[in-house]
Amino acid sequence: MPDNAGPADYSDWKPRPLPAPWVIVPVAERPSLEAELQAELAPGHLLSGEIITAVARCPGCDEVVFIVEGDHPTWFALVRLTWRQCREQLPLPATELLRRPMAGSLRAHAH
């Protein structure tokens, strides 16, 4: 979980348009992205054991934004999936915490 996240950090979150080339993940595509992430996560990974939902992806690469929920403030993680459909060795899959606003973090993200 991000060190600077507090209970109010995401309570006012509202969706904002995503910068190109990012797109919202359609509901029908979420299960395959979430299953791939779960297959890749090793114990001890930042996202291991978390409740995750795919929310955005970049069509030009393997990066997916997941919202991370649970018994803590909600936050966003940018993950570069490997698509090997097996458990990876840490620190893979590469994961970056996104700052608010998410759209601003994605705009600043270099591909």
pLDDT, residue 82, reads 94
What would the mean pLDDT of 77-105 be, rounded to a whole number?
90
The per-residue pLDDT of the chain, averaged, comes to 85
The confidence band for 107, taking pLDDT boundaries of 50, 70 and 90, is confident
Contact assessment for residue 62 and residue 93, using Cβ atoms and an 8 Å cutoff: no
How many residues are listed for the chain in this entry?
111
When pLDDT is averaged across residues 76-98 and rounded to a whole number, the result is: 94
SS3 call for 76: strand
Q: pTM for the full model?
A: 0.81
- Domain edges within the chain: 23-108
- Find the helix or strand (DSSP H, E) in which 38 lies: helix 30-40
Q: What is the pLDDT of residues 2-30, one digit of tens each?
A: 444 444 444 455 566 888 889 999 999 99
